[in-house]
């Protein structure tokens, strides 16, 4: 009986420690919240760059990190690219400076990666 009681108490303690508080639970968005989010997106200035971060990071890791490093700090064969603007990154992708091949990625994929790299300041 004592073992059963101790097991029950231990289980209660462990499961209560894993619960979430009300502060951690996301409330469903209301129509007003959605309108506010749409307004924020519509009011985005031209200077703000929108991109798909997960896609850009995956492409960067697959195509660029071998030379430029996963932390964008550079490796043997490729310089660090931290602090470059989107335009500078896009130009490098298109022109292939030094030993870098031209157009390793193109189009929207290149735009997306360039925006992501520029945002990694």
Angle at 97 between CA 92 and CA 102, to 5 degrees: 70
- Predicted confidence at residue 32, as pLDDT, reads 66
pTM for the full model?
0.60
Mean pLDDT by 10 residues, the chain (121 residues): 70 56 56 62 57 95 94 92 96 94 95 96 80
Which residue segments constitute the domains of the chain, with CATH numbers given? 53-118 (1.10.760.10)
């Amino acid at each position: 009986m004592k073992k059963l009681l101790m097991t029950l108490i231990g289980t209660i303690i462990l499961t209560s420690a894993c619960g979430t508080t009300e502060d951690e639970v996301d409330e469903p968005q209301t129509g007003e919240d959605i309108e506010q989010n749409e307004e924020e997106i519509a009011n985005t200035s031209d200077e703000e760059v929108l991109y798909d971060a997960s896609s850009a990071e995956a492409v960067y890791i697959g195509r660029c990190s071998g030379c430029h490093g996963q932390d964008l700090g550079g490796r043997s064969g490729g310089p660090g690219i931290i602090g470059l603007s989107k335009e500078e990154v896009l130009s490098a992708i298109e022109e292939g400076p030094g030993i870098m091949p031209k157009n390793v990625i193109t189009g929207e994929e290149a735009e997306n990666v360039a925006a992501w790299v520029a945002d990694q300041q």
